[in-house]
Amino acid sequence: QSALTQPASVSGSPGQSITISCSGTPSDIGDTNYVSWYQQHPGKVPKLIIFDVTNRPSGVSNRFSGSKSGNTASLTISGLQGEDEADYYCNSYINDGSWVFGGGTKVTVL
């Protein structure tokens, strides 16, 4: 299995919106709604922010939203804030029963 493809870094100014893409294949993202996103601050445990493509766990800001088109999933952060500076990982189910992560995207707030 190959890692899902994410941009290494994305940046934006406070208040702006940014989108992180997660590119997969017809065997993973293209064949499932089991796509999730995690936020990880340095030295911390990953935190679930989106599951099943578009769903937010309770307590997660509605500034985070997820979507999917074809073999690509996306995470949008609107109203960018300093606390959003972190690494973000996508994760997808693969139709053989296994799971795969993206390589991660470092978000910088300018």
Q: Which is nearer to another protein, 77 or 94 (CB)?
A: 94
Q: Residues 10, 24, 84, 89: which binds another protein (CB under 8 A)?
A: 89
Q: For residues 64 and 49, is the Cβ–Cβ distance under 8 A? A: yes
Counting residues that bind another protein (by CB under 8 A) gives 28
Burial of 49-61, coded b for 16+ CB within 10 Å and e otherwise, reads bbbebeebeeebe
Residue type, 55: N
Binding-site ranges for another protein (CB under 8 A): 1, 3, 33-36, 38, 45-48, 51-52, 55, 57, 89, 91-93, 96-104
